[in-house]
Structure 1
Amino acid sequence: MTAVVGVWLLASLALGRPAPVSERYPHVCGTVAPGWVPPHRPVRLRAKECAACPQLVGRPG
């Protein structure tokens, strides 16, 4: 069996460090991401923007 090599790109950008694909997708909730689109302000990622958090129907936020 071959080991998978690589990183989760967006999680790596948000966390500021490599996020290897050999591990579970990391939680990025609560992380402050740089502003990539206008108006280029930093954004604090919430649980609903985190792919690792369970997406519950009807959850506020």
Structure 2
Amino acid sequence: MIFSLYPSYFKLHLCWLRSLTRITYLSKLIGTSSFAALMQLELFWVYSYSSGDSTSDNDLVG
């Protein structure tokens, strides 16, 4: 029995980032909050195994 691990597909996620920026000038606001969108790529892995038989999936059809 042979096990293998390979990447299957990528999935794109949207994440929201929030930050609070300090400003040192007296004429400016004390802090400014901001939002940003981040696209994050996620990789999904697939485990597969082979039993070592000589028959393939094509041999089992019809």
The structure in which a higher percent of residues are helix is: 1
TM-score w.r.t. length of structure 2: 0.23
Whose radius of gyration is greater, 1 or 2?
2
The structure in which a higher percent of residues are strand is: 2
TM-score w.r.t. length of structure 1: 0.23
Higher relative contact order (CA 8 A, sep 6+): 2
